[in-house]
Structure 1
Amino acid sequence: MALPRSEYLSEVWRDGIFDNKVVFCTGGAGTICSAQVRAMVHLGANACIIGRNPSKTESMARSISTARSGSKVIGIGGVDVRNIQSLESAVERCVKELGGIDFVIAGAAGNFIAPIEGLSSNAFRTVLEIDTLGSFNTLKATLPQLLRSASAHPNTASNPNTGGRIIFISATFHYTGMALQGHAAAAKAGVDAISATAALEYGPRGITSNVITPGPIEGTEGMARLGDKETEASGDAQRRNPLGRYGTVKEIADGTVYLFSDAGNFVNGEVLVIDGGNWRHPGGMAGTMRYPDYLLENTFLRRNESKL
């Protein structure tokens, strides 16, 4: 059964604006990235979503395909973004089955909570490899297709037929620093730098490169791992956001449509933070715990490292 449009896309967007286009998304089976792709498919695009787990990725592809009758959504599992050859094979299959790639979302990521003294070099390196190297590899593997799409769909002030665009998914941790997130902050700082460099190097050839930075988004795997369940249950965590709530995946999807549509024709090298102003609010882990008490009391030990 198809999800209601209201769960992943605002009414402002006109159906068909991405007809005959293809979006390629790493981390596409995740809560946020799947909503981004679902919105694009609803508006006319076909898609390839890329993930580590074959069954999860293929199942999500089937779910996303219900967003529009006649859509083509391919789930390509068993792909490790740290391995450029693995990504290149996924790109080759996507192009073979769908005809090309016009839009890319680099969304694969890994994270957990850990203080520096409880963080091994291996765990630190793993997060950088998934987030930073994985984002670089995604750009590198899809770049020939992005250049072809940008050439076929010139970026002018009046052209509504867009292509040759990439969005990287980042975080705000490195803006001010965040305890227990040194590994993710370092990784996402690198992601932002890659996007900015791509904007400068490939803007003259018609490609736009931008970053979307989600804040606390309700119902996501990230909040399930990193959020504080007690303060969330009481509503205190949400009230610490300047807008008094968590965001929704629909709001991230809307930002994606904006950057990929002709409304974003002149947006390049930018970071679109969609967090309700959350990063400007001082505090510890998402403002849910008292700083520095949770550090001095050793509240957090390294978690989930064995999974990486």
Structure 2
Amino acid sequence: MPDTREKIALVTGAASGIGRATALRLIEDGWAGIALVDRDAALLDGTAAEVEALGGKALKIVADLNDLVRVSGLVGEAVAGLGRIDTVVNCAAIARPAIAVVDYDTDKFVQDLNVNLTAGFVVAREAARAMIAAKRPGAIVFIASINAQGAGVGSVGYCASKAGVVALMKVLAAELGEHGIRVNAVSPGPTDTPRSVGRVGEKVMEKLRKRFDGAALRRLAEAREIADAVVYLSSDRSSYVSGHDLVVDGGLMASVYVAAKPE
């Protein structure tokens, strides 16, 4: 296992779902501590307690990523509290119940872009500045989505922002590589998280947990499975991987359209 005993990560959206799972998996992988960012203070307390129970340091930072002024100070706060930043995982996102394009108001669309795309850019930029100033290599990982590569009906803001995340990741990878900073993304398929429940409802999720025919593996992902991909891209095991969008979708995008079964 790579030596991660002194490494520190900043994880946004850390109170639940993929963000929480990522924070815990990083500590299990040997990381020293996590700056945990989320707007839900109560849930963040729970993640921090779990991190500490695993032997890691936890710094709780309560912040709404729609407040871009607040976002600009997150990396500085993390460095002040934990001494350094070696990786950033931009996980926080808004995923609304389905809304038709003709009913999607501008305020919602702008908020989607702020939280899902612009906040991630600001955090990544500030992290890169800190890493360059410290003359240390690092890793930046974005949680994108398979919706970045295709239409998600009723999700115009989410899809547009996640497509932007993939493009942003590639630009950052191209520019920051000379400083030893690797930048990648993970694009999950449908995953069993509180965010998914909020989008489709508990009754639908109960059915999908039993069987999900959209994926070749016929099931939803677990948050921990997405987190494993993030941990890989954060660690030295992926030391020559940069500018890559790692799709973790159980074979969903490998599906082939069949017009009709042969008789």
TM-score (norm 1): 0.76
C-alpha contact 2:128 2:181 (8 A) present in aligned 1: no
Deviation at 1:226, TM superposition (A): 3.0
Q: 2:37 aligns with which of 50, 70, 87?
A: 50
C-alpha contact 1:81 1:130 (8 A) present in aligned 2: yes
2-structure distance, mates of 1:174, 1:59 = 31
DSSP-derived class of the 2:191 partner: coil
Match of 2:46?
Answer: 59
C-alpha contact 1:41 1:64 (8 A) present in aligned 2: yes
Instruction: Mark the CA change 1:60 to 1:235 in structure 2 (over 3 Å): closer, same or farther.
Output: closer
2-structure distance, mates of 1:234, 1:51 = 27
Match of 2:261?
Answer: none
Deviation at 1:279, TM superposition (A): 3.2
DSSP-derived class of the 1:143 partner: helix
Q: Structure 1 regions of 5+ residues with no counterpart?
A: 1-13, 153-162, 284-308
Amino acid at match of 2:54: A
Q: 2:182 aligns with which of 187, 208, 230?
A: 208
Match of 1:85?
Answer: 69
1-structure distance, mates of 2:252, 2:186 = 14
Deviation at 1:119, TM superposition (A): 1.0
Instruction: Mark the CA change 1:203 to 1:184 in structure 2 (over 3 Å): closer, same or farther.
Output: same
Q: Please, which moves more after superposition, 234-243 or 272-281?
A: 234-243
C-alpha contact 1:84 1:141 (8 A) present in aligned 2: no
C-alpha contact 1:146 1:165 (8 A) present in aligned 2: no
C-alpha contact 1:232 1:238 (8 A) present in aligned 2: no
DSSP-derived class of the 2:221 partner: coil
Match of 2:18?
Answer: 32
Match of 1:9?
Answer: none
Q: Structure 2 regions of 5+ residues with no counterpart?
A: 258-263
Match of 1:279?
Answer: 253
Match of 2:260?
Answer: none
Higher strand share: 2
Instruction: Mark the CA change 1:278 to 1:85 in structure 2 (over 3 Å): closer, same or farther.
Output: same
Deviation at 1:282, TM superposition (A): 7.2
Q: 1:226 aligns with which of 183, 189, 199?
A: 199
2-structure distance, mates of 1:72, 1:212 = 25
Q: Report matched runs for 1:294-305 at 5 Å.
A: none
Over aligned residues, Cα RMSD in angstroms? Answer: 2.1
Instruction: Mark the CA change 1:29 to 1:196 in structure 2 (over 3 Å): closer, same or farther.
Output: same
TM-score (norm 2): 0.88
Q: Report matched runs for 1:10-21 at 5 Å.
A: 14=1, 17-21=3-7
Instruction: Mark the CA change 1:27 to 1:235 in structure 2 (over 3 Å): closer, same or farther.
Output: closer
Deviation at 1:110, TM superposition (A): 0.5
Deviation at 1:84, TM superposition (A): 3.9
**Identity between Structure 1 and Structure 2 (%):** 25
C-alpha contact 1:127 1:187 (8 A) present in aligned 2: yes
Q: Kindly provide the CA deviation profile for residues 4-42 of structure 1, in whole angstroms up to 9, marking residues without a partner as x.
A: xxxxxxxxxx4x731100000111112111111111112
User: Given the alignment of the two structures, is residue 142 of structure 1 paired with residue 116 of structure 2, yes or no?
Assistant: no
Deviation at 1:80, TM superposition (A): 2.6
2-structure distance, mates of 1:231, 1:26 = 24
DSSP-derived class of the 1:201 partner: helix
Q: 2:165 aligns with which of 181, 191, 197?
A: 191
Deviation at 1:75, TM superposition (A): 1.1
User: Given the alignment of the two structures, is residue 132 of structure 1 paired with residue 117 of structure 2, yes or no?
Assistant: yes
2-structure distance, mates of 1:20, 1:97 = 14
C-alpha contact 2:71 2:119 (8 A) present in aligned 1: no
1-structure distance, mates of 2:230, 2:208 = 31
Q: Kindly provide the CA deviation profile for residues 135-161 of structure 1, in whole angstroms up to 9, marking residues without a partner as x.
A: 111112222223256x33xxxxxxxxx
Q: Report matched runs for 1:234-273 at 5 Å.
A: 237-273=211-247
Deviation at 1:97, TM superposition (A): 2.1
C-alpha contact 2:146 2:249 (8 A) present in aligned 1: no
Amino acid at match of 2:60: G
2-structure distance, mates of 1:237, 1:118 = 31
1-structure distance, mates of 2:205, 2:66 = 36
Amino acid at match of 1:247: A
DSSP-derived class of the 1:176 partner: coil
Deviation at 1:274, TM superposition (A): 0.6
C-alpha contact 2:75 2:123 (8 A) present in aligned 1: no
2-structure distance, mates of 1:234, 1:105 = 27
Runs of 4 or more, structure 1, over 4 Å off, are: 234-237
